[in-house]
Amino acid sequence: MKIIDAHVHIYPPEFEKERDKIAEKEPWFDILTQSKVHKWCTAEELIVQMDQDGIESSFVTSFAFYDQGLCKIANDYVLDTAKKYPGRIQPLAVISPVRRGATDEIARCADAGAVGIGELFPDGQHIDISDSSDTWRLAAECDERNLFIMIHTAEQAGHQYNGKGKTGAVEAAKFVRNNPLTKVIFAHFGGGLWAYEAMPEMKLALSNTYYDTAAMPWLFTHEIIDSIFAIGAGHKLLYGSDSPILNLERYKKLLDKTSLTEENLELLLYKNAKKLLEKTKI
């Protein structure tokens, strides 16, 4: 079965070498790269892992910095990687939405082949995604360029962990209401936003919304997948590993326990992401 991984991170080698220097002005980078689960990964290491796991292509991003200059360095690395491995790497660009130069960087990266923007990190980038004054330029530029946006969200219940943040389903729902035409992936199951697909009014509001499975093995049992398909939102769920901290093997153990049909499994692992990619090339 073909597989697309919709949530992958790589880092320019200099980020690891300069970690301490970067961390001095980027506190969330400091927190996340000190986490016991953090792993560095270069483009070449990613391709090796993709080959081992039988991944056809991946949505690849780096780290969402508050500093626009660091975002540009990360983007150059990801975009260069996409040129080196055409078809295997679907590049996403990180931008700091409320800093000067955000829309220019979106345009630059779109012209260079980016298929989306993200994974944006609201807490670390000082963005309130529920506030249209923080997001309208971002959404407008992405709509104009036919790019989707990936935004970090997290369940606002349960245990705390490095990088969880305070952006969840409530904020995500306000984002889509403010920006109804914007194609958006809410990472980590949208912090529970998917459950509101069962409400007719929200199903309409969430027409352009997708969710990924990133970090699932650390947070949820397999029943969450069955539940999403049961309420009719399975066509919006994307397999995302959050590689390099997790890989396909961990997810397969959970997917094997679900009641998904072969057709549903193909949607999750490949067809949903493929369809979203096709929408960016209209």
Backbone angles phi, psi at 185, to 5 degrees: -105, 120
Nearest residue to 245 (alpha-carbon basis) of 53, 52, 81, 10:
10
Largest CA distance in the chain: 50
In which residue are the tokens 């529920």 written?
A: 130
Specify whether the backbone of 221 is left (phi greater than 0), alpha (psi in -120 to 50) or beta: beta
pLDDT in tens, 22-53: 999 999 999 999 999 999 999 999 999 999 99
Backbone angles phi, psi at 70, to 5 degrees: -65, -35
Q: Give the pLDDT mean for 159-181.
A: 95
pTM of the model: 0.97
Strand partners, 117: 93, 149
Cα–Cα distance, 234 to 211 (Å, whole number): 9
Residue 215: predicted pLDDT: 96
Residue 282: predicted pLDDT: 55
pLDDT in tens, 94-108: 999 999 999 999 999
